[in-house]
Amino acid sequence: MSTTADTVEKKGYDVEEIRAQFPILKERVHGKPLVYFDNAATSQKPRRVIKAESTYYATINANVHRGVHTLSTKATEAQEAARETIRTHINAKHAHEVIFTSGTTASLNLAAFSLGQLLLKKGDEVLISGMEHHSNIVPWQLACERHGAVLKVIPVTDEGELEPRRRDDATEYFTERTKVLALTHVSNTLGTINPVKELIAEAKKRGGVTVVDGAQAIAHLDIDVQDLGCDLYAFSGHKAYGPTGTGVLYGREELLNEMPPWQGGGEMIDTVTFEKTTYAKLPFKFEAGTPHIAGIIGLGEAIRWMEDYDKQAMAAHEHLLLEHATKELLTIDGMRIIGTAKEKVGVISFVIEGVHHYDLGTLLDQQGIAVRTGHHCTQPLMERFGVSGTTRTSFACFNTVEEVNSMVAATRKAVKMLR
């Protein structure tokens, strides 16, 4: 995908109008205007999302699905309206296929535990990739250890793409023992957009269950779970302009009905005796305890906020930032970008010869610029590229070309100080 400033302008994208909706962008850090390039870690929140949460607490604060009084009814309606908003946004067939969790990590742990109980036995295989976040590695390791299964890994190329993409043949990574394919849609470290639809099709030909980590995709791509054909799709609210502590696990109805519960407690039960418990219908079977009601309402509002804008225009703007930042950063002596896939979202991880990423991040912060440094919860990927960590800059719809220029100039200044 390529674009120009003119293309973005023709679509009517007004970045200043967008920026005005984010109160935090008026903050100053060390006396400098905040430049927030850490969106892959957590995105900032527009005013209406913040208001949706505070309005819940101020006007209808009550537990959901458990009371006949007015406040409980209103809270329940608001939460279930968010569920329906999310259903339509990802094109799920049914609202009860949308399970609320505390985030992508919880969603993937639910998937790994429950599918492990349902599917895995000694000698079976779980297939992941070499660019997975720890949250899509460790839960599957635990499941494999519990059931005697084997974890297999699709290698990553020097460009930061999956090997099958370069060979037009993914079959060598699948065997008759492959029971689960668990794959990130977009790499949080490289920005790579993976060919998940093609790999899902390969897995399903062999009867495998497919799980997609959509944490980095939900704010940048159009997600259609029916078109993808996946069985489960996980994402967080806080990376999509919504509240922290919120997440979703979409699951195909037939599979969710087969999967055993992950946690036990209130709301997820039908009947309880000391001899036996039966479980509630979907989605409540997987929603034990009081949910993060205010956060869920805020997440629904964040999704509605995104839907108010032209998603293609947002993506074009972010891609413009990606192209411009990549070009300008490469003018810095000793610069090496980790991850140069043909299909990327607005994420750039880089190392600079003779400069430690932590030192660079500290000096950028002194100039008001927020980036992420470290291994980004992808230690195996860092080992693959022979680095201990990177500096990562990640863009959102509210960032500007001027901010990119400020970051590049600040990086250049910091490099002179550190060498």
Domain residue ranges in the chain: 5-33+310-418, 50-307
Entry field: residues in the chain:
419
pLDDT value, residue 334: 97
Closest CA to 298 of 224, 248, 244: 244
Predicted model pTM = 0.94
pLDDT value, residue 419: 87
Q: What is the mean pLDDT of the chain?
A: 94
Q: Three-state DSSP class for 70? A: helix
Is a pLDDT exceeding 90 seen at residue 280?
Answer: no
Are 122 and 337 within 8 A, CB to CB? no
Instruction: Give, for 151, the enclosing helix (H) or strand (E).
Output: strand 150-154
Q: 125-129 and 178-184: which strand pairing? A: parallel
Active site residue 230: no
**Among 4-8, 304-308, 363-367, 375-379, which stretch is predicted with the lowest mean pLDDT?**
4-8
Average pLDDT for 384-407? 98
Are 60 and 81 within 8 A, CB to CB? no
Q: 35-36 and 369-370: which strand pairing? A: parallel
The whole-angstrom separation of Cα 196 and Cα 201 is: 8
The whole-angstrom separation of Cα 140 and Cα 137 is: 6
Q: 178-184 and 150-154: which strand pairing? A: unpaired
Average pLDDT for 183-192? 98
Is a pLDDT exceeding 90 seen at residue 188?
Answer: yes
Average pLDDT for 382-403? 98
* Architecture in CATH of 50-307: 3-Layer(aba) Sandwich (3.40)
Give the active site residue among 144, 230, 377, 397.
377
Closest CA to 81 of 297, 345, 401: 297
Per residue in 35-85, pLDDT tens?
A: 999 999 999 999 999 999 999 999 999 999 977 899 999 999 999 999 999
Average pLDDT for 125-130? 98
Is a pLDDT exceeding 90 seen at residue 412?
Answer: yes
Are 230 and 282 within 8 A, CB to CB? no
Average pLDDT for 387-393? 98
pLDDT value, residue 3: 38
Q: Which amino acid is at 39?
A: N
Place of tokens 């505390």: 102
Q: Does 3.30.465.10 match the CATH number of domain 5-33+310-418?
A: no
Q: 28-29 and 32-33: which strand pairing? A: antiparallel
Alpha helices in 259-356 (DSSP H): 293-307, 311-329
Instruction: Give, for 414, the enclosing helix (H) or strand (E).
Output: helix 401-418
Are 408 and 332 within 8 A, CB to CB? yes
